[in-house]
Amino acid sequence: MKAVSETIVSSNRHTAPTDVSSAVSSALPRVLFLGGSHDSTVDVRSRFGEDVEVVEVFSPVKALTRMSRENFAAIYCDADHFNEVADVGQLIRNDRILQGMPDGVVLLDSENVILWGNGRLCEWSGREDVMGENFYHVLGSPEILGPDYCPFHTALTTGKGSASTIRCTDNRHFRIHAAPILEKDNNTPQHLVVTVHDISDEILQQQKLAAIHQAGVELADLTTDEVSNLPAEERIELLKSNILQCTQDVLQLDVIEIRMLDQETRELQPLLAVGLVPSAEQRFLKADAEGYGVTGFVASTGKSYICEHTVEDPLYLEGAEGARSSLTVPLMLHDQVIGTLNVESPEGNAFTESDLQFLEIFARDVAVAIHTLELLAAEKASTAAASVEAIHSAVALPVDVILNDAVNVMERYIGHEPDVVQRLQSILRSARDIKRVIQKVGQSMAPAKASPTATVTEARPQLAGKRILVVDADESVRMAAHALLERYHCFVETAHDGNEARFMVRNLGSDVAYDAIISDIRLPDMNGCELYLKMRELMENVPMILMTGFGYDPGHSIIKARQEGVTIVLFKPFRLDQLVSAIEEVLSQSESSS
């Protein structure tokens, strides 16, 4: 049989007695007796006599509970609990080890009262002692944020660990985890070991990220109504104002520089500069890893750069007066560098990796905001262009009908009624003027730099101002000719058949001519080769382009037309770029022959 063991533990953190009996007998030395199966063999009370008060408990946890609230001269334990009490005694003796932990560790009873702690809660709460205090009261009755809104109760009732997050009044956040202590003599846990982890920095990071995200959303949250009527200068000022508000309110930065990258020249053009010396604002910079400072390096490589000490960094060029550190990130849009964002601080080594992450996120939002403004401006231009195009589409064919009818009537009256012919010629001029006016209005309504790349029509300067006649019996082809070719600033007119085309050419005027004639090979009254030959009677050089479906050439008109001098044939269906290239080719032939 093991001898009864006695463990003496000095007490430094005992609270005042909490019950009447202990208060009455507090004058006597008190011994905490942790009993067991050997109680009948060893009569502890008779051994100590009447001069010592013996307080008996039957589990180490309960013993620790009584120790936290009451004063005892010694602990006397049964051999059954020797190992457990030794562990408890060792825990109490060596609590300095636990005090060195960054997390708080406490033992709670079922009423959330702290029975023991490693001292971390004392530090966080500013108290000298927390034992005997309610856990939540020590932390200032914090708000429980979940996911478990009663973590201690859950752990005690389920016998399983539970966790939650709490927020104190000073905006400190802690993650707590409660684990129940299962005792041999009680199936229902009465005590909890609670670990407390300070997550204030983590929450602060999350809050800052959320604030930056919200700032980015507001930065790019621009509607058409807000910017559609603003000139370019005011749109830029609106953007600058939003960026400054975000950097000062969210990032707490007062020195900022934004430059935009010209993709062709690689120059970094100033967009926004606050807090920089004038020479830095006006400095010429390019996207180059050498010779143009940190900004040139970032724009060239697409990599962010932290300058920890400006005096020691060979890449740094003076920006803000007295700056000792800087952080520069690229403005990225669709994996392409479109500019740079630079901030500076009067303190050395002021920027961390977290700051780098925050600024990169913000820079992406800035890039999107800039792009959004460009798209909204483009939307304005596109809307104007669409309106003009809709008007033109509505009147294009009707005006052509006026032209067609006029030339048909003129053919009948030539040599008979000079006054009628003169009136018809005036109608022709007026109808053609209508088209020119609509086209000029469309060009003036659309800002020169307002269209995004996706909607810009490829420049074809050779086609601008050229007069083109399209001959086809199909109305959809004539309509498409207007829609497709007039975007290149051509003047398009149409005819239904060969004879109408001849009349259009003959009555165009002595000082003008069609620069290109595009005709279907199969017309109601003749084929393409026959039209070419008739046109040759009216024009010295006929800039003819024939269109045909694959395999359709009754009478071998294409072969005959080629033999007569037609060099360009388009086989349906053809792409717009093929049509445009064919027109450019016939224009070049005409220029070389003239």
Task: Give Cβ neighbours of residue 83 (< 8 Å, ≥ 6 apart).
Answer: none
**CA triple 302-303-309, angle to 5 deg:** 135
CATH number at 211 reads 3.30.450.40
Mean pLDDT, range 468-495, rounded to an integer:
87
DSSP letter at 207 equals H
Question: Are residues 181 and 224 both part of a single domain?
Answer: no
Mean pLDDT, range 218-238, rounded to an integer:
55
Whether 490 shows a pLDDT value over 50: the answer reads: yes
Q: Greater confidence, 148 or 27?
A: 148
Given pLDDT bands bounded at 50, 70 and 90, which one contains residue 268?
very high
Whether 43 shows a pLDDT value over 90: the answer reads: no
Whether 233 shows a pLDDT value over 60: the answer reads: no
Question: Are residues 418 and 548 both part of a single domain?
Answer: yes
Most confident of 158-172, 381-395, 552-566: 158-172
Q: Greater confidence, 403 or 518?
A: 518
Question: Are residues 472 and 452 both part of a single domain?
Answer: yes
Domain for residue 541, yes or no? yes
Q: Greater confidence, 402 or 164?
A: 164
Question: Are residues 115 and 39 both part of a single domain?
Answer: no
The confidence score (pLDDT) of residue 16 equals 35
Question: Are residues 257 and 333 both part of a single domain?
Answer: yes
Poorest-confidence range of 423-432, 447-456, 494-503, 540-549? 447-456
Domain for residue 500, yes or no? yes
Whether 558 shows a pLDDT value over 50: the answer reads: yes
Poorest-confidence range of 65-69, 352-356, 361-365, 556-560? 65-69
Domain for residue 385, yes or no? no
Alpha carbons 572 and 549: distance in angstroms, whole number: 5
Question: Are residues 308 and 249 both part of a single domain?
Answer: yes
User: Sign of the CA dihedral 186, 187, 191, 192?
Assistant: positive
Question: Are residues 401 and 421 both part of a single domain?
Answer: yes
Mean pLDDT, range 395-413, rounded to an integer:
77
Mean pLDDT, range 464-479, rounded to an integer:
89
Domain for residue 383, yes or no? no
Whether 110 shows a pLDDT value over 60: the answer reads: yes
Question: Are residues 402 and 327 both part of a single domain?
Answer: no
CATH number at 463 reads 3.40.50.2300
Task: Indicate the number of domains in the chain.
Answer: 4
Alpha carbons 511 and 518: distance in angstroms, whole number: 21
The confidence score (pLDDT) of residue 249 equals 62
Most confident of 100-114, 153-167, 420-434: 153-167
Mean pLDDT, range 493-507, rounded to an integer:
91
Distance set, CA 181 to CA 153, 357, 443 (Å) = 13, 43, 82
573 upstream amide cis, omega within 30 of 0: yes
Distance set, CA 49 to CA 28, 30, 56, 591 (Å) = 11, 12, 15, 131
Mean pLDDT, range 53-74, rounded to an integer:
69
Poorest-confidence range of 202-206, 293-297, 336-340, 461-465? 202-206
The edge-to-edge listing of strands for the beta sheet with 256-261 is 268-274, 256-261, 336-345, 325-333, 305-307
Domain for residue 11, yes or no? yes
Which of the listed residues 353, 378, 403 is the one where a domain comes to its end?
A: 378
Domain for residue 80, yes or no? yes
Question: Are residues 485 and 359 both part of a single domain?
Answer: no
Question: Are residues 84 and 101 both part of a single domain?
Answer: no
Question: Are residues 475 and 538 both part of a single domain?
Answer: yes
Domain for residue 384, yes or no? no
340 contacts 261 by C-beta, under 8 angstroms: yes
Percent of the chain with pLDDT over 90: 21
Alpha carbons 493 and 429: distance in angstroms, whole number: 13
Q: What is the DSSP string of 30-85?
A: EEEEE--TTTTTS-HHHHH-TTSEEEEESSHHHHHHHHHHS--SEEEE-GGGHHHH
Poorest-confidence range of 113-117, 150-154, 583-587? 113-117
Mean pLDDT, range 468-488, rounded to an integer:
87
Given pLDDT bands bounded at 50, 70 and 90, which one contains residue 162?
very high
**Amino acid (one-letter) located at 273:** A
The confidence score (pLDDT) of residue 193 equals 86
Task: Name the residue range of residue 435's domain.
Answer: 390-593
147 upstream amide cis, omega within 30 of 0: yes
The confidence score (pLDDT) of residue 69 equals 63
Residue with the two structure tokens 């905490």: 32
The confidence score (pLDDT) of residue 586 equals 92
The confidence score (pLDDT) of residue 19 equals 42
CATH number at 162 reads 3.30.450.20
Mean pLDDT score of the chain: 76
Domain for residue 476, yes or no? yes
Given pLDDT bands bounded at 50, 70 and 90, which one contains residue 470?
very high
Which of the listed residues 40, 66, 93 is the one where a domain comes to its end?
A: 93
Alpha carbons 7 and 439: distance in angstroms, whole number: 103
Whether 60 shows a pLDDT value over 70: the answer reads: no
Which of the listed residues 154, 170, 198 is the one where a domain comes to its end?
A: 198
Given pLDDT bands bounded at 50, 70 and 90, which one contains residue 165?
very high
Question: Are residues 135 and 189 both part of a single domain?
Answer: yes
Given pLDDT bands bounded at 50, 70 and 90, which one contains residue 14?
very low
**Amino acid (one-letter) located at 224:** T
Mean pLDDT, range 467-492, rounded to an integer:
87
Distance set, CA 57 to CA 9, 34, 67, 381 (Å) = 16, 5, 11, 87
Whether 194 shows a pLDDT value over 60: the answer reads: yes
341 contacts 272 by C-beta, under 8 angstroms: no
Structure token pair of residue 191: 């005590």
